[in-house]
Amino acid sequence: MMELSEAMKRAEKAILARQQAASELSGYEFGAVKLERENEQFWTFAACSDELIEQGFAPGALFASIDKFDGHLLSDEEIEAYARARAVESASPERVAA
């Protein structure tokens, strides 16, 4: 299992790479990468930009999700698939009846 400190390092690298790859973000400063949320499968880290938030951009942050078991950076597709699976699970008749 991945250690949180190592996951944070991987998220910092991923967020920096995303910031550098997006030319429209070149003039904005982002704060420190922080743990935003977690579930049983992965941690999600974020770096916020006060400037983007003040200008009305939502969420005004860059995100990176790191798998707790093998440490890979989750793709948007993996995160969406996880969310869909959780939605189906929470809507199942067994959960509703409980």
- For the record, the structure tokens of 9 come out as 């390092």
Sheet holding 42-48, edge to edge: 34-38, 42-48, 61-67
Across the strands, what pairs with 63?
Answer: 46
pLDDT at 88: 86
Model pLDDT for residues 30-88, shown as the tens digit of each residue: 999 999 999 999 999 999 999 999 999 999 999 999 999 999 999 999 999 999 998 88
- C-alpha span between 90 and 5 (Å, rounded): 31
pTM for this one?
Answer: 0.87
Domain parsing of the chain, residue ranges = 4-97
Q: How confident is the model at residue 2 (pLDDT cuts 50, 70, 90)?
A: very high
Tell me phi and psi for residue 87, to 5 degrees. Answer: -65, -45
> With contact defined as beta carbons under 8 Å apart, do 45 and 31 qualify?
no
- Mean pLDDT, range 86-94, rounded to an integer: 77
pLDDT at 89: 82
pLDDT at 95: 54
